[in-house]
Amino acid sequence: MSFTKRTVRGQPLRTKIVCTLGPASRDSDTIERLIEAGMSVARLNMSHGSHEVHRETFAAVRAGAAKRDRPVAIMMDLSGPKIRLHEVEGGRFALRPGQKIDFVRGDAACTPDALTCTYARFIDDVDVDEPVYINDGAIRLTVVNKTVDTVTCAVDVGGVVSSRKGINLPGTRISSPSLTDKDVSDLALGIELGADIFALSFVRGADDVKDLRSRLIAARSDAQIVSKIEKPQALDNLDAIIEASDAVMVARGDLGIELPVESVPLHQKRIVRACREALKPVIVATQVLESMIENPTPTRAEVSDIANAIEDGCDALMLSAETAAGKHPLLAVETMARVSRDVEKVLTTRSEPADFMARRAGDALRKAMVIGAVIIAEPLGAKFIVVRSESGVTARYLSKVRGMCPVLAVHHDAGVLRRHALMWGVLAVRTDTDQGEVPSMEDDLRRLARSILEEGLVVTSDRIVVVSRYPWGEQLPPNNIRTLRVGDALGALP
């Protein structure tokens, strides 16, 4: 059969859910339950865990997705040049406001007299009057003096220093490459395993993305790149980064450390708006359901955060510790799905035809075909707009219109279908036949209608709108829109 049986009652979930897998969720049973609850993308955080653990988790996701016949993508989130303190002698010590503390070169243990860190060029890159934040900004220092081998900081906000705490340098232009030696090793693992997406951390400009792209091309990998916006420099180069990327993540954690926290909501809206304009998917991440790490229910503020992100136009929402290490990983996904469905009923963000056509991104013919399909589908009450998807471009355009009619992207290859995992409103399903294997458009429509009928996605009285290209095999944008009732399309098959 073409699909695993999965009747769609009402509207399918349109907002995509990214789940970080970890100790609380990487067993096979939990992974399958997360898939059933709505997980579209499984995130492997390469900052934690060994290659052996990630291999096992990767295999468990692929097995669970195959069992449930869902095109769940796997995203490897590369650590990037994250700066951390070295080990602390004695485990911990306190820094007090007004105190002076030195950073010195080397990898010796940190002491109350001198700190060392994992970034070898720390002393070269920082300058006097620049801020230095430790432990997600809980401890705040300012550089007051610099010599060849020492940087002296004044403690503005004190706190307890412990081993391996992160360091942020919001006013410093880091000279290190975007991919560290560890990232290169992790990238090789992901390419070997066949990861669908790589998330690039601490992106500063389009060149960082292009470097990763060139490495993927050299390795003959067609994996997608998600650029994480978490540094002020990335905001300065936002449009170029979006253009070079397949998708973007609003990484609110480090962004809220590098910038005043009160500025994060407006930056989030700007990033989402820019991605809508560029017709690229965008993920909103960090502390989306933070309270559910411990509690079985979300706060009202968290629910409002989800609703506002969807209303603004985000394609996907990401869970981090909630699913990786929290007490209620399944409940967190179910909660996100439930809230998302409720918001999707009353969305007011559908693009008007003139506005969509005026967007700077995309070719005019494809945009016109997509708008035409949406305009036809909605008054007809069509169950789906169906597109045979090779590259995913037409489905991505349809996703960005955010029309009322959901999109069904069909293809015979699971890898192609996983390329739709971050597209809002797109349900990717597999057929057993390639478009090139049927003799005519009419035969293709009959086979398509019968497949989705047999699998419970439609009933015979449902209308669908099919966006396709003809003749077969030509590298063309879609050039054909057909409307049909499923029952009318059925006929004798050869």
Q: What DSSP letter does each residue of 23-86 carry, written as one string?
A: TTT-SHHHHHHHHHHTEEEEEEETTSS-HHHHHHHHHHHHHHHHHHT---EEEEE---S-EEB-
Query: Do the domain assignments include residue 246?
Result: yes
Instruction: Give yes or no: 228 in active site.
Output: yes
Domain assignment present for residue 405? The answer is yes
Task: Please indicate, yes or no, whether residues 395 and 471 belong to a single structural domain of this protein.
Answer: yes
Same domain flag for 319 and 361: no
User: pLDDT tens per residue, the chain (494 residues)?
Assistant: 333 444 444 568 999 999 999 999 999 999 999 999 999 999 999 999 999 999 999 999 999 999 998 999 999 999 999 899 999 999 999 999 999 999 999 999 999 999 999 999 999 999 999 999 999 899 999 999 999 999 999 999 999 999 989 999 998 999 988 899 999 999 999 999 999 999 999 999 999 999 999 999 999 999 999 999 999 999 999 999 999 999 999 999 999 999 999 999 999 999 999 999 999 999 999 999 999 999 999 999 999 999 999 999 999 999 999 999 999 999 999 999 999 999 998 875 567 777 888 887 888 888 999 999 999 998 999 999 999 877 889 999 999 998 889 999 988 889 999 999 999 999 998 876 665 555 577 777 888 888 788 778 889 899 999 998 776 555 667 778 999 998 887 764 44
- Pair (58, 206) in one structural domain: yes
Same domain assignment for residues 312 and 358 = no
Tell which of 312, 344, 376 closes a domain: 344
Cα distance from N-terminal residue to C-terminal residue, the chain: 17
Q: What Rg, from alpha-carbon coordinates, does the chain have? A: 24
Catalytic residue among 33, 228, 276, 402: 228
- The answer on 185 and 151 residing in a single domain is no
Answer whether residue 11 is part of any domain. Answer: no
Count of domains observed in the chain:
3
43 catalytic? Reply is yes
Query: Pick from 324, 344, 364: which residue ends a domain?
Result: 344
Q: Would 494 be classed as within a structural domain?
A: no
- 400 assigned to some structural domain: yes
Instruction: Flag whether 304 is in a domain.
Output: yes
Q: State the residue range of the domain holding 150.
A: 83-168
* 99 lies in the same domain as 229: no
The answer to whether residues 65 and 197 belong to one domain is yes
Model pTM score: 0.92
Whether residue 107 lies inside any domain: the answer is: yes
Q: What is the pLDDT of residue 411?
A: 86
- CB crowding 402-414: b at 16 or more within 10 Å, else e: bbbbbbbbbbbeb
Asked whether residue 482 is domain-assigned, the answer is: yes
Please tell me whether residues 208 and 277 are part of one structural domain.
yes
> Are both 323 and 359 inside the same structural domain?
no
Q: Residue 286 catalytic?
A: yes
Report the CATH number that the domain containing residue 67 is assigned in CATH.
3.20.20.60
187 neighbors 223 (Cβ within 8 angstroms): no
Can you spell out the DSSP letters for 289-357? TGGGGT-SS--HHHHHHHHHHHHHT-SEEEESHHHHT-S-HHHHHHHHHHHHHHHHTT---PPPHHHHH
Report which of 210, 217, 205 is spatially closest to residue 241, judged by C-alpha positions.
205
- End residue of a domain, out of 320, 344, 368: 344
Residues 98 and 76 occupy one common structural domain = no
Q: Are residues 361 and 471 in the same domain?
A: yes
Domain co-membership, 360 together with 480: yes
CATH code of the domain covering residue 128 = 2.40.33.10
Distance CA 204, CA 309 (A): 24
